[in-house]
Amino acid sequence: MANLGFIGLGIMGKPMTGHLLEAGHTVHVYDVVPGPVKELAAQGAVVCGSSREVARKADITIIMVPDTPDVEAVLFGKDGVAEGVRSGSIVVDMSSISPIATKEFARKLAEKGVEMLDAPVSGGQVGAEKATLSIMVGGKTEVFQQIKPYFELMGKNIVHLGGNGDGQTCKVANQIVVALTIEAVAEALVFAAKAGADPRKVREALLGGFAQSRILDLHGERMLARNFNPGFRIRLHQKDLNLALQSARSLGVSLPNTATAQELFNAIAARGGIDLDHSAMVQALEMLAEHQVSG
């Protein structure tokens, strides 16, 4: 059994850690929030007092935190991974962060004799709980092959894309597709509802045709049920679209519809909805239409 570490035990990290424990691995855990730590300790996790301690005790340290500055702090801040990590160990960042920063983090860890994979995920809380996440991996092939058995405990669609940063680039592309599909589903349901059709029946019909998608299925139902409890928070999707738009500027690429989706998220955030599920984007379109999909 492997000697693992897991830093970041939120709505994604906690169930992912649980799957590693269920497989019989030793998992050293740390989070600034005590609740998930206690829950995982009851399942057999070894509680640590800092990221440094996790890295010192584990051969493979997995990180799952919200944003680029958070990963940087976990890795290189006070009591961070870099202070405890041993040469020959591996760091796997499963957060969704900047591809450019990822390459720099990998370079700095390599100077310590430590390999790094970037392995952001898609599938949300449900995917984390059911171990059906899509995992997009950047880094050396031989390191990917070494870590793949642990990825298989947390996800189903696991793809090695290339070097460090390529996993994060793929995740940014994924988030563009997800945001634009949420917008399309929301726009279609608002249109149908205001035109007088039953949006539930419209969704049912669309699910049987070329317009069908998981987002129409799952998030379309959320929109109709007015269930915006977070599976994936708007604030996190805003972060990902910021990465897309910033990267696009540096590459000289135009992403007009991504910018529109971000503005719709901004409208919901401005009304206090930044921690709602990203399917709540429909509320911005409802405001523009002066009509609610369902009530």
Per the rule left: phi > 0, alpha: psi between -120 and 50, beta: everything else, 44 is left
State how beta strands 133-138 and 121-122 pair. antiparallel
Nearby residues of 8 by Cβ (< 8 Å), 6 or more positions away: 31, 63, 64, 65, 70, 74, 95
**Known active-site residue 171:** yes
Place of tokens 């317009």: 211
Amino acid of residue 92: V
Which member of 78, 171, 194, 201 is catalytic? 171
Element spanning 104, H or E: helix 99-110
Contact 77, 29 (CB under 8 A): no
Query: What are 286's two structure tokens?
Result: 């409802």
Neighbours of 206 (CB within 10 A): 19
Q: In whole angstroms, give the CA distance from residue 275 to residue 277.
A: 7
> For the chain, what is the radius of gyration of the CA atoms?
20
Helices (H) and strands (E) in the chain, counts: 15, 9
Residue 251 is given by DSSP the state: H
Q: In 3-state terms, what secondary structure has residue 210?
A: coil
Place of tokens 């995917």: 127
Per the rule left: phi > 0, alpha: psi between -120 and 50, beta: everything else, 187 is alpha
Give the active site residues: 171
